Amino acid sequence: MASAPTTETDARQADPGGNQLAKSLKPRHLSMIAIAGVIGAGLFIGSGAAIREAGPGILLAYAAAGFIVILVMRMLGEMAAANPATGSFSTYADRALGRWAGFSIGWLYAWFWIIVLGIEATAGAAIVHRWIPGVDQWVWALVLMVLLTLTNVVSVKSFGEFEFWFASIKVAAIIVFLLLGVAAILGFMPGVDAPGLSNLTGHGGFFPNGSGAVLGGVLVVVFSFFGAEIATIAAGESAHPVDAVKKAVRSTVWRILIFYIGSIAIVVTLLPWDSASVAKSPYVAVIELFGIPGAGTIMDVIVLTSVLSCLNSGLYTASRMLFTLSARGDAPRGWSKISRRGVPRSAVLASTIVGFVTVGLNYIAPDTVFLFLVNTSGAIALFVWLVIATSQLVLRRRMDKAEVEKLSLRMWAFPYLTWFAIASIVALLVGMMVLEKTRESLLLSLLLAVVVVGFGVWRYRRGNAANALRTELTLAEEPHPIHTA
């Protein structure tokens, strides 16, 4: 790993050949990347367990978690619109909190998405294996990883095109689901009786397991929103990054309202929350209620699309974070080399290699090594959100009145909602410690974070001490102020 630099290296100067990241992502790509970031397999499958835990009251859990995500995205949007950067929140943490913070959160975030590659590749392979059982499941996992690696290595435009079509399929599926669901609720669906409020108020009421179950439900559903921030990372490779960031952030509200709260409301209104079919696969259960043949296969196709989308964007996101870390001297220098097509291929391949290892571990030691690795990433989403909120608080307070006036996108009710978001995220971390089923994941994630942060602090204290000795200064290096648009 390269020695710690005294100033942040501009990513555009990282490649000796003078190449830059391609600015070939179009507005339609970024719009769909923003949408795809919050529509994953967790919505289609994981929502069943959440409904089972809290009943119809899970709607409040989704609303509460969604509100926190909206605040985090607004804060990130303020910083990204003021200074778009491929490193996104890692770059802002670097400037707000110190080099150790950018180093630490960048590595933790890259680690999260690399682990996701192993999870999603295995999930996708399981679906394809059900269709073509004659080929071993691990072969399909390998095929999926290779295909998505190629889309990322060829060009950023190919990544954008694949993500555009993956997201389009998911969006179309949810829109059709919502339209059919509303028709059924209103009594316009042939063969389906309008349920009224019976499923919301019956079967134990709106809070059948008590209000405490709703709070527990927040911990279950909040992680399904992670990925919305990808749009701010991808915006750095578009021709008009500021406009792309503002559009992505402002659309977060309606995306969460429609895709998550809207579709979950359809499920709990049409079907009893305690139905076994809802716990297993809520969306399949509703499709079967509509009398549509092949509901399981339809959902398999949609889930596979979500898995491929997550693989595609996960590999992209991990590679761009490694690229940014490399450009700042926080990762091997070779990872910041850029191809003639503007792609950091070394960073992509580095992410892929570790991804292949995690896939292999999932087949060799699924209940030991792989489970341990997955648990080390369990709370990273909350760490990232906490760093985003803290960075925005610090950077905004450094601005004078004139700089604030120039911001093209501002956090609402600053600093009150920023503090509210910070307190909410801390409360979620405390909740993870209290709940037995999430405690191990939090502790292992904290262990990993302590190791990474400890190394980052040691690394930059050493670097600052050397600089002080050479320059006979005792002041530590000041973080870079954020630039206004």
- Give pLDDT tens digits for 260-284: 889 999 999 999 998 888 888 888 8
% of the chain at pLDDT higher than 90: 33
Distance (Å, whole) CA 412 – CA 73: 11
SS (H, E, C) 422-480: HHHHHHHHHHHHHCHHHHHHHHHHHHHHHHHHHHHHHHHHHHHHHHHHHHCCCCCCCCC
Distance (Å, whole) CA 9 – CA 159: 26
* Least confident interval from 239-253, 379-393, 462-476: 462-476
Closest by alpha carbon to 44, among 367, 295, 269, 379?
A: 295
What's CA 452's distance to the chain center, in Å? 20
pLDDT for residue 112: 92
Model confidence at 251, in pLDDT bands (50, 70, 90)? confident
Q: Please state, rounded to an integer, the average pLDDT across all residues of the chain.
A: 83
pLDDT for residue 41: 67
Closest by alpha carbon to 352, among 141, 167, 108?
A: 141
Mean pLDDT over 33-52 rounds to 76
Which tokens go with 211? 């209000």
Mean pLDDT over 184-191 rounds to 90
Q: Which residue has the higher pLDDT, 96 or 31?
A: 96
| 354 within domain boundaries | yes
Model confidence at 37, in pLDDT bands (50, 70, 90)? low
Contacts from 458-463 at CB under 8 Å and sequence distance 24+?
459/4, 459/100, 459/103, 460/4, 460/98, 460/99, 460/100, 460/103, 462/4, 463/3, 463/4, 463/5, 463/6, 463/99
Model confidence at 192, in pLDDT bands (50, 70, 90)? confident
pLDDT for residue 232: 80
pLDDT for residue 361: 86
Mean pLDDT over 152-159 rounds to 85
pTM above the 0.75 mark? Answer: yes
Mean pLDDT over 428-452 rounds to 92
Name the DSSP letter for residue 262: I
Identify which of 283-292, 327-336, 411-420, 473-482 has the greatest average pLDDT. Answer: 411-420
What's CA 312's distance to the chain center, in Å? 12
Mean pLDDT over 145-156 rounds to 88
Model confidence at 443, in pLDDT bands (50, 70, 90)? very high
| 100 within domain boundaries | yes
| 429 within domain boundaries | yes
> One-letter amino acid identity for 144?
L
Q: Which residue has the higher pLDDT, 180 or 479?
A: 180
Collect all residues with Cβ–Cβ distance below 8 Å to 167 and sequence separation of at least 6: 32, 33, 35, 36, 39, 309
**Cβ–Cβ under 8 Å, residues 25 and 231:** no
| 471 within domain boundaries | no
Q: Which residue has the higher pLDDT, 27 or 426?
A: 426
% of the chain at pLDDT higher than 70: 89
Mean pLDDT over 58-75 rounds to 92
Model confidence at 151, in pLDDT bands (50, 70, 90)? confident
Give the CATH number of the domain where residue 201 resides: 1.20.1740.10
| 212 within domain boundaries | yes
Terminal Cα-to-Cα distance of the chain (whole angstroms): 34
* Predicted confidence (pLDDT) per residue in 81-115, tens digit: 888 776 788 999 999 999 999 999 999 999 999 98
| 32 within domain boundaries | yes
Q: How many domains does the chain have?
A: 1
pLDDT for residue 461: 83
pLDDT for residue 422: 97
Cα dihedral sign, 30-31-36-37: positive
* Domain that includes residue 98, residue range: 27-401+413-461
| 267 within domain boundaries | yes
pLDDT for residue 464: 56
Tokens 């690795």 — which residue?
A: 373
Cα dihedral sign, 445-451-453-454: positive
What's CA 125's distance to the chain center, in Å? 21
pLDDT for residue 478: 36
pLDDT at 463 over 80: no
pLDDT at 368 over 90: no
Distance (Å, whole) CA 341 – CA 388: 31
pLDDT at 178 over 80: yes
Mean pLDDT over 204-231 rounds to 85
| 81 within domain boundaries | yes
Q: Could you tell me the CA-to-CA distances from 166 to 283, 290, 348 in Å, in that order?
A: 19, 25, 20
